Structure 1
Amino acid sequence: MKKIHFKPAALLLLSLMAFSSGKGAQAATGAIAIDTALTKEEIAKGILTPEIMWKFGRVGAPSLSPDGQQVVYPISYYNLKENKGVTNLYLLSTKGGEPKKITDEKGSESNPAWSKDGKTIYFLSTREGGSQLWKYTLENGAMTKLSSLDGDINGFQISPDGQKIAYATDVKLQKVTGKEVYPEMEKSNVMIFDNLMYRHWDSWEDGAYSHIFVADFKNNTIEGAIDINKDQTWDTPMATDYDIAEVQWSPDSKKIVFATKPLTCRQYATSTNSDILVYNIESKTTENISSDNAGYDRYPTFSPDGKTIAWWSMKTDGYESDQKRLFLMDVATGVKTYATAGFDQNIETYTWSNDSKTIYFTSGIQGTEQVFKIDVAKKAITQLTKGYHDYTACSFNNGVLVGQKMSIKMSSEIFRIDIKTGKETQLTFTNANIYRHIKMAETQERWVTTTDGKKMLVWVILPVNFDANKKYPALLYCQGGPQSTVSQFWSFRWNFQIMAANDYVIVAPNRRGVPSFGQEWNAQISGDYSGQNIKDYLSAIDDVKKEPWVDANHLGCVGASYGGYSTYFLAGNHEKRFKAFIAHNGMFNLESFYAATEETFFANHDLGGPYWDKSNAVAQRSFANSPHRFVQNWDSPIMVIVGGRDFRIPYTEGLQAYNAAKLRQIPAKLLVFPEETHFVTKPQNAVIWQREFFGWLDKWLK
């Protein structure tokens, strides 16, 4: 797990910033007390609050048993007072009933995987320190620790024959810190770099890289491990997900297929070119099967019959939001087929049928995420589910399909889906005790005409206990990404229900530059940050503010990341529409952002290139329309929120915006979370975030 501490110059009370990646599991937690019961006061009030949000159980992706009769899945719970959480595993019949909790709060569990005979569940646990392999025996409920490796196991896959295991762990390959380079300077805390990609998302490079090891797994012991990524100075599974699902065994247990990005330094920072590799267990050789594609190639799997390898692929190098296309390769001939040709949406998560004839997958379509299936032979695609919801994962075995589903009114739960009719049956009711007492707001689907004559889907979320005879302040919600759908998502921070519970109308447009409305709509935003999508935002708020129940004199504008950029830009270009703004970790000065962000490929593609390239018309237009160039027009109060460990959009972007507002004597407030990243994840910090968020809006809009 990457973790480097250092002490920067004294800036804004940042006395210590600890940087760590998501690589590896959290440390042993000890027993954490979990209480999900609502108080009498909360029940009497009947609306969602920040404190109630942290009583929710957060359901993870399901994994079906080989016979399809049971599903194992994780749930994370948090203790607000202790400011930490724990993730445990639950077992449930796919016919319904009460789930059985199979692990306890002495540690956090992850990566559940079934044995081929369905009698054992393997998983990672931190209950004895570090992250090690354990098993749960269904027959007697016994838990047994199977590994005690020196380093953490970050993920694993057991071979179908049960005789081998592939697992990910970190390997130290480079000296980075001062005391590593100069051992006699043991109290130094300097870091020394001479190339790019020295930090990523939320972690400083520490010279260790995630590698895949293959070992014998006879009698439930790990022996004879071989590093199949020996000496490689890049991560497998790929940063920053480190998702072990990108490593899969062949059905005969003789090969491993995996995704990796075999680039370093400047190339790594400026390219998205990842590849699909196949490792042969017997010959110990590796073959690259996607070298002909320049963009992302990810999430490979073998078909159950072993004849086909599938993965999703992006065509364009540097374009991280390009279309995710499903490719199939005949293992015997090497011939590849673009299986979803003509399908104008993305393929997200997917799973094979046991007979290798069908692939079930999730995909966005018009502001929702649905489950589809594709006939592998005919390449015919059928939409299975419909409705206002998002399916974010699915699992199939022995004729049974289950999925992880959420909506604006419901956090994630597990559903069973009929593979013929698409009929859905809810299996888990994790937070029923909360929904029973808390009223949820209603969502309207609204199609707004844009300035160029197109139709745009806008979700309008009405206040709880909505009264059409009253007037409510309204919030324009600006989505991040930028290419991220405003779907039926449930967020534990940017939560539409809690905004509605505070008596706001929320206007959430699927403006230009979001998926699920076709590739042209999605791609338009690149190189046009200040253009059509900004007009789309204004079209949405201008349309909704005409309603008699909207107080058009009290409108707010809020957003994070690209949504933070949008907020900053609109602050200088809103023509008196908004009375208050909130920007979280947004891009303010595009020149300083370009020079400080780590994934340079993103800035190159979306902004058009570097600011010093004076011959690049697209780039020069982007930088000429940077939000900081319109500060002279700012006329409304603004709150700025930053995370000290955000390396995607460094916190100094927000400091510039806040300083500019104060120097112009615009009412402004600054929230600095020194140890948070691009997101606010710690329970108490998140509650304070919500309190300050609504405190600021209430002050200026009510």
Structure 2
Amino acid sequence: MTITATKFTPEVMLSAPRRTPALPSPSGKRAVYAVSTYSFQDHKKTSQIRVLDIESGDSVSIVEDASASEPVWLGDDEVLYLKGGDAGITTLVVRHAWSAEAEPYEAGSVKAPISNVIVKKLPNGSFAFACSALTTPDGQLFNPETEKKPHSSARVYTGLFVRHWDAWNTRNKSSIFYGLLEQKDGKYALRNGTLTNALAGTGLSSPVPPFGGTGDFDIGPSGLVFVAKDPELDPAIYTKTNLYYIPLETFTESSAPPPRIINTPGLEGYSNSPVFSHCGRKVAFTRMRSNQYESDKPRLLLVPDITNPDKTEEFYATPDGVGGWDARPESIVWSHDDSKLYVTAEHRARTLIFQLASTPSRATALPVPIKTPDGSVVSFHLLRPNRDHSSSSSPADSDNDHLLVTSTSLVDNSCYSIADPAAQTATVISSASKEGKSFGLSRSAVDSITFRGAGGDYDVHALVVRPSTFDRGAANGNGNKKYPLCLLIHGGPQGAWLDAWSTRWNPAVFAEQGYVVVCPNPTGSTGYGMAFEDGIRGEWGGRPYNDLVRCVEWVAENMPEVDVTRAVALGASYGGFMINWIQGHPLGRKFKALVCHDGVFSTLNQWSSEELFFPIHDFEGTLYDNREAYEKWDPARFVSEWETPQLIIHGELDYRLPITEGLAAFNVLQARKVPSKLLVFPDENHWVLKHENSLVWHREVLGWINKYSGIENEQQLAEKVDGLKV
């Protein structure tokens, strides 16, 4: 399921196969993943579940069904997956992992949509099964297909958090369900055909919306751990999520014991990524310190004995509470002998895997990254020790660890590889885009620059992507062509441009139009230390804006192949705020055209958002206690300076930045007679996710910037020349 293209276009990118992370079988000989492809000719998506032979890199399709998802292993020979059906019913289907002749069979069914499946083999050979689903206030499964529709559409609220991301909040909450898959007559079946709501009657909800998934909970031989919002605090004002433990002996308990909270004195923010050790006694997880800062530094923590939830240990703790490891740990995997942890974290525009001792007392040296392919790690799993010598009887130890890594890069949308931490090697076994060549892309197009930031005492890093047809002589000032600058400004603002694939903001799509694309990570960006990230607080239009000014100046002075007189700039979310801020300031006159996607028109409107802890933190207080801080960085204060042609894009389901922000900016531009266009998606949220909508997005955006940068004229001229040649 690969494609071959001589030119990387939006159609090529959007129709390319999209693979989920690979999940290895217990023996480590095979891996299972799902893949989907969209056809703009048929206007529909096709989906498969495939099994990969890790040794050869060959794969076969075992399921072709758009309603099939979330495959997991039941032993080495069988795969379980979810199949959505009529009336919202979900079926648990099991089929042989390699034999196409074997008939699939049903292991159970649930009368509601479920997701986020985790299975763990228990000592008796059965499998503990866990998933998530929406539940009604009384703890019952919620099925929107069979729900009785009310006669009125009215909604009544008496508290904060009335809507979140792209949906109005209801009384239904997400819950974790568990059950037991046991084998009888050679087939697995869900015991008693039922699942139990682990959170019934607790007032807790997990996974945490809108993005919570399997990273919010884990199951082990002794029970279930999960994170949930603190029910005593308002979720609109506070970020606090606690870690809880529910002991389960058989996973057949008809009702779960009460959850036990894991105590972490001094740390009151987000909890994430709980993972049981292989022995089942320990749990590693992350937690932030601040309960009103969603981008605070996660601290890596250990529960030495899950039966004693009052004792936790912090890795790299320091007396001042800052912590000795200046990174943001995310996902966690234990080594086979539980002596090491493998943890992902961002580092200078990449997501890497770091290794460290699994107990704080032995983790005296800072974590070191292991070798992985170019780009950023998306997901990784432990392979069975001595997988190349299955008959070996030597005990498992961390020196035998091999990791099955799923990664992406700016030129590769999916890469599966095997990383050997001890040998510091990474071997690619399957690349969806054959190292980008099927897209007409090349690693040689990717570069980076570093320039002095606005403060004068720090550096700013930026990724650079050039066209695949780039004239190398131009970089030395000897070429026959100069390329317009395309400046991409990331959102967050606590985020970063990564050496990673994207179908929403892919720098290569812009580069292939004929731009040199520069993606700076200014003050506020993640992956460069917490002081750099925290520097944006109270500085939304200050240091980050001046860093961007320095960026454009550096490009003009040091990159002779770039034509900054034909520059364009684009940004979304906070990047959209920055576009509107730039529009009212001198840097705005440096660009021929601007594009603002779901951006901020006025910071005084930040309280029309849903997660109010975000503006409270970044603007150093509430709107009523510190209005001056909101007014200081308000783009609407400078609309009298707006004069650069600008495209405004907004999704009507964006409740983080309501559509009125886009409408207000467009109305100002139109009233001032500034060339402008408004693109609205009634069925999209903060992101444009639907294939057909995304194609329109790309055509409108590229058409807009190409018109004002002059690339449109170059393309038309090239078409005429090609016509004459014919």
Sort the TM-score into its range (normalised by shorter chain): 0.7 to 0.9
Deviation at 1:174? 8.6
Question: Partner residue of 1:88?
Answer: 48
* C-alpha separation in 2, matches of 1:680 and 1:169: 25
Query: Which residue of 2 is the match for residue 105 of structure 1?
Result: 65
- Kindly indicate whether the alpha-carbon contact (under 8 Å) linking 2:652 and 2:685 is maintained by their aligned counterparts in 1: yes
1:446 to 425, 445, 449: 449
Question: Paired residue for 1:683, among 683, 691, 697?
Answer: 691
Q: Does 1:504 align with 2:480?
A: no
Taking only the aligned residue pairs, the percentage that are identical comes to 26
Contact 2:454/2:546 (8 A) holds in 1 = yes
**1: distance between equivalents of 2:351 and 2:436?**
25
How big is the shift at 1:353? 1.3
In the TM superposition, residue 338 of structure 1 has moved relative to its aligned partner by 1.5
Are positions 1:591 and 2:596 aligned together? no
Equivalences for residues 426-465 of structure 1 within 5 A:
426-432=428-434, 435-436=437-438, 438-440=440-442, 442-453=445-456, 454-465=458-469
Contact 2:8 2:439 in 1 (8 A): no
Determine the structure 2 residue equivalent to 1:321: 295
Residues 1:54 and 1:387: Cα distance change in structure 2 (over 3 Å): closer
Kindly indicate whether the alpha-carbon contact (under 8 Å) linking 1:59 and 1:413 is maintained by their aligned counterparts in 2: no
Residue 231 of structure 2 corresponds to which residue in structure 1?
263
Q: Indicate which of 247, 270, 275 corresponds to 1:280.
A: 247
Q: Which moved more, 1:162-171 or 1:391-400?
A: 162-171
Aligned residue in 1 for 2:190: 221
Match of 1:69 in 2: 29
- Structure 2 counterpart SS, 1:460: strand
Q: Note the C-alpha offset of 1:373.
A: 1.1
1:81 deviates by: 4.0
The 5 Å alignment of 1:101-140 reads: 101-110=61-70, 112-115=71-74, 117-126=75-84, 130-138=89-97, 140=99
Matches of 2:347 and 2:519 in 1, distance apart? 16
Q: Kindly tell me the number of residue pairs found equivalent between the two proteins.
A: 646
1:207 is aligned to 171
Task: Write the mapping of 1:465-480 to structure 2, written as runs, cut at 5 A.
Answer: 465-467=469-471, 468=474, 469=479, 470-480=481-491
1:521-562 residue CA offsets vs partner (Å, 9 max, x unmatched) = 111112210110111111111111233222221111100011
Residue 302 of structure 1, CA deviation:
1.1
CA contact (8 A) 1:160 1:249 kept: no
1:214 aligned counterpart, secondary structure: strand
**CA distance in 2 between partners of 1:55 and 1:628 (Å):** 39
User: Quick one: structure 1 residues 375 and 36, their matched pair in 2 at CA, closer, same or farther if it must change by over 3 Å?
Assistant: closer
The corresponding residue for 1:406 is 408
Query: Residue 62 of structure 1 contacts residue 402 of structure 1 at CA under 8 Å; is this kept in 2?
Result: yes
Deviation for aligned residue 1:674:
0.4
Who is 1:385 aligned against?
371
CA distance in 1, matches of 2:230, 2:42: 41
CA distance in 1, matches of 2:50, 2:108: 22
Secondary structure of 2:687's aligned partner: coil
Q: Structure 1 residues 383 and 644 mapped into 2: Cα distance closer, same or farther (>3 Å)?
A: same
1:491-640 to 2 correspondences below 5 Å: 491-546=502-557, 547-575=559-587, 576-592=589-605, 594-613=606-625, 616=626, 620-640=628-648
Q: Residue 360 of structure 1 aligns to a residue in which SS?
A: strand
Cα separation, partners in 2 of 1:520 and 1:498, compared to 1, 3 Å: same
Instruction: Give SS of 1:539's match.
Output: helix
- Measure how far apart 1:403 and its partner are: 0.9
Q: 1:150 is matched with which residue? A: 111
In the superposition, relative to structure 1, how do residues 81 and 589 fare at CA in structure 2: closer, same or farther (>3 Å)?
A: farther
Residue 308 in structure 1 maps to residue 294 in structure 2: no
CA distance in 2, matches of 1:314, 1:660: 41
CA RMSD in angstroms, aligned pairs only: 2.4
2:328 is equivalent to residue 338 of structure 1: no
Task: Please name the residue that 2:342 is paired with.
Answer: 360
Distance change >3 Å, CA 239–CA 232, structure 1 → 2: farther
Greater Cα shift, 354-363 or 149-158: 149-158
Is residue 238–residue 261 contact of structure 1 (8 Å, CA) maintained in 2?
yes
TM-score by length of 1: 0.87
- In the superposition, relative to structure 1, how do residues 400 and 388 fare at CA in structure 2: closer, same or farther (>3 Å)? closer
Kept in 2, the 8 Å contact 1:384–1:421? The answer is: no
If asked which structure has higher relative contact order (CA below 8 Å, sep 6+), I would say 1
Indicate the SS of the match to 1:428.
strand
Whether the 8 Å CA contact 1:37–1:433 is kept in 2: the answer is no
Is this contact kept in 1: 2:174–2:205, CA < 8 A?
A: yes
**Structure 1 residue runs without a partner (length 5+):** 1-34
TM-score after normalising by structure 2: 0.84
Q: Indicate if the aligned counterparts of 1:318 and 1:601 stay in contact, CA closer than 8 A.
A: yes
Q: Separation in 2 of the partners of 1:156 and 1:386?
A: 27
Q: Distance in 1 between matches of 2:311 and 2:610?
A: 36
Contact 1:165 1:222 in 2 (8 A): no
Contact kept in structure 1, 2:411 and 2:435, CA below 8 Å = no
- Structure 2 unaligned regions, length at least 5: 184-188, 250-255, 318-323, 385-400, 711-726
Q: Is the alpha carbon distance of 1:338 and 1:142 closer, same or farther for their aligned partners in structure 2, counting shifts above 3 Å?
A: farther
